[in-house]
Amino acid sequence: MTSELIVFLVLSLVAIAAALGMVFSRNAVYSALFLVLNFTTVAVFYLLLGAPFIAMSQITVYAGAIMVLFLFVIMLLGVDSLAPSKSLPWQKPLAFSLAFILVVESVYLLISRAQPNMVVTAPDIAVNSMDNLREMAMTMFNQFLLPFEVTSVLLLVAMVGAIVLTNREKVGRK
């Protein structure tokens, strides 16, 4: 058992625990914080996998911007917990069993049937360097130019949409 493996396992447990915490915590704020923890852990994985740029994006965009926005909305709405629900009593057990089956399926699949046999290489210096980043930028603005532009349009649309939805000046139909 190598050190990376140990680190991986520990971080995995943290990530899973954070995810479960997010899902099960009563308080929405806790959920959001658990999710931030999870995102951070995952960012570490990205580093381990030799993707520093993505790791940084993860921290800044996800854990930073997006989650802050979430927290902001949670605070704004002021709803921190809901009373236990009477509706859909069978929803939970069913969800658990489906989730369990899905996990079993995927683990079974990955272990026994479809092995992408390769081993993850250690994050060497070369990968996590500026050269690497430059390389990536080149790819992105050459090969992936179109998606990039589409993404920009997408963000614009999202912005317009958000404004349309929250702009109250022009009241719609009664």
The residues in 100-159 that bind another protein, with binding defined as CB under 8 A, are 101-103, 105-111, 113-122, 135-136, 139-140, 142-148, 150-151, 153-159
Contacts of 153 (CB under 8 A, 6+ apart): none
* Size, binding site for another protein by CB under 8 A: 102
User: Nearest distance from residue 125's CB to another protein, in Å?
Assistant: 15
Q: Which residue has the tokens 């099960």?
A: 24
Residues 48 to 87: which contact another protein by CB under 8 A? 48-51, 53-54, 57-58, 61-62, 65-66, 69-70, 73-74, 76-77, 79, 82, 85, 87
User: Nearest distance from residue 101's CB to another protein, in Å?
Assistant: 5
HEC profile of 50-80: CCHHHHHHHHHHHHHHHHHHHHHHHHHHCCC
User: Nearest distance from residue 129's CB to another protein, in Å?
Assistant: 14
Decide whether 82 or 130 has the Cβ nearer to another protein. 82
Q: Minimal CA–CA distance to 63: which of 15, 17, 122?
A: 15
User: Nearest distance from residue 163's CB to another protein, in Å?
Assistant: 8
The H-or-E segment that residue 46 falls in is helix 28-48
Structure tokens at 62: 């996800």
Burial of 41 (0-12, 13-18, 19+ CB in 10 A): buried
Question: CA 156 to CA 86: how far, in whole Å?
Answer: 41
Residues 12 to 51: which contact another protein by CB under 8 A? 12, 15-16, 19-20, 22-23, 28, 31-32, 35, 38-39, 42, 45-46, 48-51
What DSSP designation does 167 have? Answer: -
Decide whether 130 or 146 has the Cβ nearer to another protein. 146
User: Nearest distance from residue 5's CB to another protein, in Å?
Assistant: 5
Find the binder of another protein among 95, 129, 131, 134 (CB under 8 A).
95
Residue type (1 letter), 32: A
